[in-house]
Structure 1
Amino acid sequence: LKVFTDGTSNQLVGCCNQQRPQAGMVLVRVYGPKTELLIDRDAELVIMTLLSAAACGPGLLAKFSNGVAYEFVPGHCLTLEQIRTEKYGSLTAKAMAKIHSIDPSNLLPPSLTIDREPKLFQNLKKYLDLLPEKFDDETKHRRFQQLKGKCDFAKEVEVLERELLPLESPVVLCHNDLQINNIIYSSDKDEICFIDFEYSAFNFAAYDIAVHFCEYCGQFEAQ
């Protein structure tokens, strides 16, 4: 067993048979407490099934009440220095374009459906609804008061929606969390693939690109 410590919200354990190393590793991810408030776990399983069928993600092996088991993707996470280079930037763009071009129509079994509406503003409003008017912890509440109020955030979302929707950015299948810990480079294949599709959904293509560059700020290296 190998315990991975890079994750911020879940527990991840790699399992392999040392007497049969050629069989590869299986990853078991246990969901963190209350993460279902932010993440649609049923939709995540559909996305993983779709990406595996499109050869863009690991195979889903099993699911249980508070987690999943899936194939291990060999390779290493990119560093901040690598992702800024032309080589790795180009490989990342190709991997993103491959996911953006996926059409679920002929890849999912009839029993599985996927919502093709863009998730950006749906999620922003959902996150706002989760914000309390007041935190029970006084320290947290004081810090919250130093930010804009909940109403101010809601107004900002309205402005963004009003200004951005007319731009008609293409709605495609997006990863939605392309920080360096989710970008794996395979030296054997000289290619990039993505992992951790918890936030993946149909969304604006421009959003997926923007999130990737925003993740450069304050990013930490994978251990």
Structure 2
Amino acid sequence: MTNAVFFVSCSRVEGTRILLLRIYGPSSGALISRPKELQTLHVLSSKYHIGPRVYGTFENGRVEEHFDATTLTAEDLRDPQISSWIGARMAELHDVDVQDVEEARGEDSHWDIAAMQNVQSWLIFAREVLALPGVSGDVLRALDLDAFESQWRQYAHWLQEVESAEGVSRRVFAHNDTQYGNLLRLKALKDGMPEHRQIIVVDFEYSAPNAAAFDIANHFHEWTVNYHSDVPHQLKPVLYPSKDERRNFYRSYITHTLATADAPAYVSDEERDEAMARLDRQVRVWSPASHAMWAVWGVVQAREMVESKDGESEFDYLGYAACRMEGFRREVSALGLSI
């Protein structure tokens, strides 16, 4: 939603490839380290064959590999086969050695997980936006960042206690933004390529170490929004995947996670069911964190709109932030937290 993408070709010269030209969007510089993103893309594409190769960069964009593929739609996420493929691809990304990426990005071995780090660092910029004169009182009351910051601290403390008692969700290298616009489907598979590899994950702007359950929960929230509808900023909880739809995703995710780990060659149906139930619980307790992170993100992205530098915005970032904030508060309440 924040980048402009163009396809570049030269039909007069035979044998030339189509390239993708990406122009970075406004306000993204406050949220994203472009040098780190480029290092991430290099490690993932060269060592793990995940994502596009980058051919060149300039101040506000880059030129990268183009895939002969179609972008998934909101409806595609609900297709059981496609959903299982996404689960498999997410498992492969989560198998990436975090240190491989973090060392390339110049980080030390004591990294913080993205969900916690982003909320805290982005709140500073969000407060600056809400202090601008163009923000209405209704928006300030709906978001109430002072109350949110207190609620976030209480939730984070509760989450720590839950993980201490029930077990920690694996810390992995996560995409953190697997919405349908960041998922491609190849038009043709190479011989011998597993069918789930026709799903290509792109746009690693927000990728970072995180809880695996956060990445999955965030993807499930993306089932509830259609960025090409009349109300692209609104999430509809009724569209959240059902128990059977989540189990379909988990089954594929767990199968491919075991395939890349030192796991027993045989896992019984009972053991698999227990693993799915455990993962579903972890996803549920991490789910509010997704709402929190993107609520704060929406406020920061609204700066251009609030300052009226961009005219009529195509996307209501403050409306999106309010929707996500409502989701955070609704879900922590459903988990039994009195905040």
| TM-score, normalised with respect to structure 2 | 0.58
**Residue 197 of structure 1 aligns with which residue?**
204
Query: Aligned to 1:136, which of 132, 136, 140?
Result: 132
Aligned amino acid, residue 183 of structure 1: L
Aligned amino acid, residue 199 of structure 1: Y
Contact 1:185 1:193 in 2 (8 A): yes
In structure 2, distance between residues paired with 1:101 and 1:75: 24
CA deviations 1:139-187 (Å, max 9, x no partner) are x232322314211110122122112234221111111110101111114
**Residue 293 of structure 2 aligns with which residue?**
none
Aligned amino acid, residue 136 of structure 1: L
**Residue 221 of structure 2 aligns with which residue?**
214
Whether 1:91 and 2:85 are equivalent positions in the alignment is yes
| Higher fraction of helix | 2
In structure 2, distance between residues paired with 1:17 and 1:142: 52
Whether 1:69 and 2:63 are equivalent positions in the alignment is yes
In structure 2, distance between residues paired with 1:119 and 1:21: 44
Aligned amino acid, residue 185 of structure 2: Y
Aligned amino acid, residue 18 of structure 2: M
Query: Aligned in 2, Cα 1:23/1:156: closer, same or farther, shift over 3 Å?
Result: farther
Contact 1:181 1:221 in 2 (8 A): no
Mapping of residues 8-87 of structure 1, within 5 Å? 8-20=1-13, 22-53=15-46, 54-87=48-81
SS at match of 1:147: helix
In structure 1, distance between residues paired with 2:215 and 2:98: 18
Whether 1:145 and 2:143 are equivalent positions in the alignment is no
RMSD: 2.3
In structure 2, distance between residues paired with 1:186 and 1:160: 40
**Residue 5 of structure 1 aligns with which residue?**
none
In structure 2, distance between residues paired with 1:184 and 1:195: 8
Q: CA deviation at 1:114?
A: 4.5
SS at match of 1:80: coil
Contact 2:169 2:211 in 1 (8 A): yes
Contact 2:68 2:187 in 1 (8 A): no
CA deviations 1:114-152 (Å, max 9, x no partner) are 4643111110111211123653334x2323223142111
In structure 2, distance between residues paired with 1:111 and 1:178: 23
In structure 2, distance between residues paired with 1:104 and 1:162: 25
Q: CA deviation at 1:194?
A: 0.6
| TM-score, normalised with respect to structure 1 | 0.85
Structure 2 segments unaligned to the other structure (5+ residues): 190-194, 230-339
Whether 1:161 and 2:156 are equivalent positions in the alignment is yes
In structure 2, distance between residues paired with 1:143 and 1:68: 39
Structure index of larger Rg:
2
**Residue 186 of structure 2 aligns with which residue?**
186
In structure 2, distance between residues paired with 1:194 and 1:23: 24
In structure 2, distance between residues paired with 1:219 and 1:202: 27
